[in-house]
Amino acid sequence: MGAWIIFGVLLSCIHVGEAKLNLTKPFPAFFIFGDSVVDVGNNNFIVSVAHANALPFGIDFPQGPTGRFTNGKTVLDVISELINLPYPPPYLDPKSKGNAILQGLNYASAAAGYLRSSGFNFIGRIDFDTQIDWFANTVSQVNALLGETAAKDFLAKSLYATVFGSNDYINNYLLSYAPINKVYTTDQFKYVVLDKTKQQLRRIYDLGARMIAVSNIGPIGCIPSQLVRQRSVNGECSEYVNGLARDFNVGLLGVIQQLNQELPDAQFLYADVYTKIDEYVNNYPKYGFKSASMACCGRGKYNGQLLCLPFLKACPDRRDYVFFDAFHPCQVVNELLGTALYEVLKAELN
């Protein structure tokens, strides 16, 4: 469900050799792997507690509720607009076939994680391994549509984003009733996830991807659901939970560096989301927000105890809040982050 990690805002893009992304030349396609922060409707087609296909989700989106876990655009919707591509449609949509796949697809699923067990508390979800299986099916379809040589070039020139990690903690390891925290210490768990991550990113590369942006975990100790779980008194973030995220992120950066050394024809980009979101939360008035702890929609303390269900009403001014619900940012945050990413990439890679 709501992993508070958002595709790459900041500050660090790792290149290999002379290979650089030229943002003046549009990518042919955009392929997205991830969780509820970037799910645009795949969970509409599975049995799951994690659904966002009814109001107040999508209250500010032109098409209304689509399965996006926010009031409007996701951060990758914003990126898609800036790179002159349509929003990649959900893989499970029956219309996502034939030529419709040639500008990209979105495989993201709310509650998904690097690990298959993550998000089990939301029942149905599509983990990263299965999303890669879906991408393998897409590669076969692209080969059939374009021919093997043209398909290889198409895949190599496309952009890929992965947005995972938060559910492995907030909807797995940090749950008191999760079996996995009885097996591993926090340090052991971190390495289990990092080892899995490296295997998964390598598999995307083996299927033809060459430019892959990998989001780190944001300050998940600041999301309203964690403020409730960690018994925050005055809206202060959980330093313990944020420390787990920071520790994982150090390891993730190491994985990215290793992959770039091992695969010199690839370009894995590390997206430091933690730093940017931490700044928004801790200095929210500077960015025009009135609250960085209270969610716009929900119930209970910080509106973080109950999900934003169809019978609830959203706050009247969504621009006042960092968080739309217990897990996810409001559209205004996604717009800020998406624009920041685009500008940083232009400056870094042109």
pLDDT digits (tens, 9 = 90+) for 238-249: 999 999 999 999
Residue 41's region, left for phi above 0, alpha for psi from -120 to 50, else beta, is left
Q: Look up 328 and say whether it is catalytic.
A: yes
Q: How far is CA 340 from the centre of its chain?
A: 16
Per-residue pLDDT tens over the stretch 171-214: 999 999 999 999 999 999 999 999 999 999 999 999 999 999 99
- Is 325 labeled as catalytic in the residue annotation? yes
Q: Exposure string (b/e) for 91-113, b if CB count within 10 Å is 16 or more? A: bbbeebeeeebbbbbbbbbbbbb
- The confidence score (pLDDT) of residue 271 equals 85
pLDDT for residue 19 is more than 70: no
Q: What is the pLDDT of residue 22?
A: 52
- pLDDT at position 343: 73
Q: CB-based contacts of 98: which residues, under 8 Å, 6+ apart?
A: 145
Residue 16 has a pLDDT of 35
Confidence of residue 110 (pLDDT cuts 50, 70, 90): very high
Catalytic residue, candidates 35, 36, 168, 238: 36
Mean predicted confidence (pLDDT) in 295-305? 97
Query: Which one of 48, 60, 238, 328 is the catalytic residue?
Result: 328
Q: How confident is residue 228, by pLDDT bands cut at 50, 70 and 90?
A: very high
Catalytic residue among 39, 77, 168, 325: 325
User: Which one-letter DSSP state was computed for residue 170?
Assistant: I
Which range, of 1-10, 219-228, 237-246, 253-262, averages the lowest pLDDT? Answer: 1-10
Instruction: Kindly tell me if the per-residue pLDDT of 2 is higher than 60.
Output: no
Quote the pTM value.
0.93
pLDDT > 80? residue 23: no
**Average pLDDT across the chain, whole number:** 92
pLDDT for 75: 93
Query: What percentage of the chain reaches a pLDDT higher than 70?
Result: 91
Tokens 């966002």 — which residue?
52
CATH entry 1.10.940.10 includes domain 30-349: no
